Amino acid sequence: MVTRAKKRSTNLSGKEREQREEREKREGEEKRGILEKHYAYRLELTLEDYLFFASMEKGRVAETAPLIHNYALAFALGWTSSPYYHEKQVPQYPSQLDPLNSKGLYIFPAMATKYTSRLMQYNTLDETWTLVKKKSIGYPNWGFIKCLSPGSKFYTYVLSADPIHFPNQIRLGKWMSSVSLQLKEVSLQKSMCKQCDHTMNVKDLPHLPVYFTSLYNILPTRVIQGMVWDEEIQGYRIGEEQVFLPEAAFWWRD
């Protein structure tokens, strides 16, 4: 029976194959609870404190990339949360972020419009639950942190199935830095296009591009910019600038 089923699939015409692929894609989206978006917002973020993420670690230097990952923004906006205590340091992004797809919520990584960095040195002791006096061997825990300075500005877009409320401020990064938000609701219409200039999370794309201009190899997932696809993909035109944003969902790819 398996052989006959495979034979029937190979005898499908081009139109039938396209219809089957479209049906399977639609069924997959319905199964994952991905909803069509009806509202769009342009979000501007201004740092009020030094912002630090361990985006990249190079020897003793932990560097913050000049962008803000969309997973960090989803947690900071209160859309999802993680437990205070983890028995094992293993991320649980699929289980924590996938419910947002069924709510029709998505936020893109934030791009910098203006930023400066500062290099800081740290010299600390290991964190322990007990104080035990040990013989000092003269090797403290030290290194450097490259963080983003106050006054740095970023922007991104939020798509949603229903109207949503945003706070005036959020906390971001390992230092829970204060970030102010400015919100503007913009127009949205469904569209098709081959190109997107905004930053995108590779894990969240249903269709991988054939070309991109920039790659940020950071944690927890890679972020790309200036994408081009070999054929038009589904998405939305946003605002007066008619920015094209592809259809995306949290943790689409395992």
HEC-encoded secondary structure of 182-237: EEEEECEEEEEEEEECCCEEHHHCCCCCCECCEEECCCCCCEEECEEEEEEEEEEE
pLDDT in tens, the chain (254 residues): 433 434 334 455 666 666 666 555 554 554 455 789 999 999 999 999 999 998 988 888 999 999 999 999 999 999 999 887 778 878 888 889 999 999 999 999 999 999 999 999 888 766 666 556 566 555 567 889 999 999 999 999 999 999 999 999 999 999 999 999 999 999 999 999 999 999 999 999 988 999 999 999 988 899 999 999 999 999 999 988 899 999 999 988 77
Identify whether the C-beta of residue 209 lies closer than 8 Å to the C-beta of residue 220: no
pLDDT of 1: 40
Say if strands 61-63 and 141-148 run parallel, antiparallel, or are unpaired: parallel
- pLDDT recorded at residue 59: 85
**Phi, psi (5° rounding) for residue 23?**
-65, -45
Candidates 153, 175, 174, 146; CA nearest to 56 is: 146
**Omega of the bond leading into 220 within 30 degrees of 0 (cis):** yes
Q: Report pLDDT for 11.
A: 54
Distance of CA 120 to the CA centre of its chain: 26
Query: Mind giving me the DSSP string for 67-122?
Result: EE-HHHHHHHTTS----S--SS----HHHHHHHHHHTTEEEPPEEEEE--EEEEEE
Q: Give Cα 144 to chain centroid, integer Å.
A: 26
Nearest CA-CA partner of 234 in 226, 244, 242 = 244
Question: Rounded to two decimals, what is the model's pTM?
Answer: 0.81
Helix (H/G/I), strand (E/B), else coil: 37: coil
Bridge partner list, 148: 51, 117
Instruction: Please answer whether residues 252 and 203 qualify as being in contact, where contact means their C-beta atoms are separated by less than 8 angstroms.
Output: yes
